[in-house]
A and B are shown apart, each in its own frame.
Chain A
Amino acid sequence: MIDFPNIGHGIGLRPPHFAALSSEPQAVDWVEVISENFMVLGGNPRAVLRKVRERMPVVLHGVSLSLGSVDPLDERYLEALDNLAREIEPAWVSDHLCWSSLGGHTGHDLWPVPFTEEALDHLASRVARVQERLGRRILVENVSSYLQFVESALTEWDFLAELCRRTDCGILLDVNNVFVSAYNHGFSPRAFLDGIPIGRVGQIHLAGHRDEGTHLLDTHDHPVCEGVWDLFRASVERFGAVPTLIERDDDIPPLAELVAESHRAASIEREVCALRTDPPREYPLPILERMAADGS
């Protein structure tokens, strides 16, 4: 069911680390980029992306597809995304289970959808259309949310699982978002994991958040917290080895700190997978061992 390759452990490609990641060997298997930041005509962003792509796999992660919006799909956006994907040949393309535009205006945010049959029909038709347009299956990510709709009749995990079943898309499981939403809405994060079908998760996100007292806010400006690491361990126990990314968008630390977090994810994964009795997915050598073997 999953044909998204297992490319190991990565970090987000962000401007403070453009130079290092495009020019020096790094202990990182792959990088993820925010698609919209590279849908530009040229200049340094595109040059960096081309250089990085020569060195390692790249994943395109969008924030503006607005899959859940009642607006028509933005064909110009899809064309730009398709063009970028054709040039970069990413390992896969992903976006979010959300909406962000209405009436031709965009909110530049990831707004939640009601988990109803109506929304499911709507999203399924749009995910199918996007996959057809891009000529590839996509991964859809669960978002952090701060409210729930009265009319929601499905849980988020049932909604996501059914969306996958209807469209054959994969899931980008953001473990931090599960943690944040579970706290904000009072559901069990383990129940969320248990509701996600095994074999559908093509990628995992790990990130930091902020405690605002009344709620947790998904800020991507902190290291991954221990609660999220615990939930990641539970994710690996359920889903096995899945490409995992450390996502950091603000207060970006030195590259070594992000790499260390990525290696912690790899270490947890190896530890858990060593105890699994089912055959693990094909898994590349840890990046440090590969670099040593290559003499790089």
Chain B
Amino acid sequence: MAAKSSGTESQSLRHVQALFYDLVTAPSGVESGLIDRGSDAAELEAIIRGDARLSAIERLDIYANMYFYRILDVLRDEFPRVVAVVGDVAFHDLITDYLLAHRPQNPSLREAGSRLPPYLVQHALGLARPWLPGLARLERTHRELFDGADAVPLTLVGLRRLPPEAFATMGVRLCPTHAILDSAFALSAIWTTCLSEPVHPEARSERLLVWRQDFEVRHRVIDSAGESAMLEAAAEGATMGELCDVMTAAQNQPDAGDPAARAFQFLARWVDDGLLTATA
């Protein structure tokens, strides 16, 4: 046996794994990683066997490439619009930088991209396109809601069964698979076009509702102050009556119509979209 047992671990195994990890995750490959450590091939060859076919550095580089490209591939799938906007080469370099700043911590690969949208805010690609972090956040939100927690949505059939006097006091909440995103740019207009052509979104603030209905994640612009206020209240949980009150308070234009009727329109749409669930 080459190494003596020392309980559940020893410095030897720790040293091997630390060196392996440092070099596999080095941004420019194993050889540069060794130089950055002030080391050389000899240190590696004392730990990893090289042969006529492949040196120790080349063998470890196989793992280095797999580490980077596996994560890159997953992030390319998760952020196709960011890829389309910046191009393959710039996205590759972005992920190189991102992985240096945010090494994956979650056992699931689906979490590898969770910090890319905020990271873009201070990255050169985001500084050159201030709307890009918002676009990345919208893509990431779609991903997160895809397999978020299930809930039983309210249906019109269920609501019709309610006695009229019970409607106002019925407690509701938005389904957990929703998000309300605010952006300083009109991202909804470029969501599809950015995949195939250069885009320059208008600098106009926009609030987006993103939600999952059945198994499909969708989004739409919220362009009514009343609906926006109702959504905020419903996200916290409220009764139907309280939501109507919120609408009344938010609608300060006398010619905008009956607030209760408008509130019912929004509630009906939300139910149709599978957005509402009953609270106990």
Contact = CB atoms under 8 A, between A and B. Distances in A.
B5 interface: yes
Interface residues of B, number: 57
B61 to A, nearest CB: 9
Contact of A148 (B5, B18, B49): B49
Contacts of B25: 105, 107
A147 B56 contact: yes
Interface stretch (A23-31, A51-59, A111-119, A286-294): A111-119
A74 interface: yes
A150 B150 contact: no
Contacts of B51: 186
Contacts of A117: 1-5
A152 B13 CA distance: 11
A63 to B, nearest CB: 8
Majority secondary structure, B binding face: loop
B18 A36 contact: no
B214 to A, nearest CB: 9
Nearest to A71: B17
A42 B153 CA distance: 14
A188 B82 CA distance: 47
Nearest to A102: B21
Contacts of A116: 1-3, 12-13
Contacts of A230: none
A153 B53 CA distance: 22
Contacts of B58: 214
Nearest to B12: A118
Nearest to B22: A102
A41 B2 contact: no
B122 to A, nearest CB: 21
A83 interface: no
B70 A104 contact: no
B143 to A, nearest CB: 11
A198 interface: no
Contacts of B189: none
Interface string B125-164: 0000000000000000000011111100000000000000
12 contacts: A42-B148, A42-B177, A47-B215, A70-B9, A104-B105, A107-B104, A108-B70, A118-B3, A122-B9, A149-B16, A151-B12, A153-B2
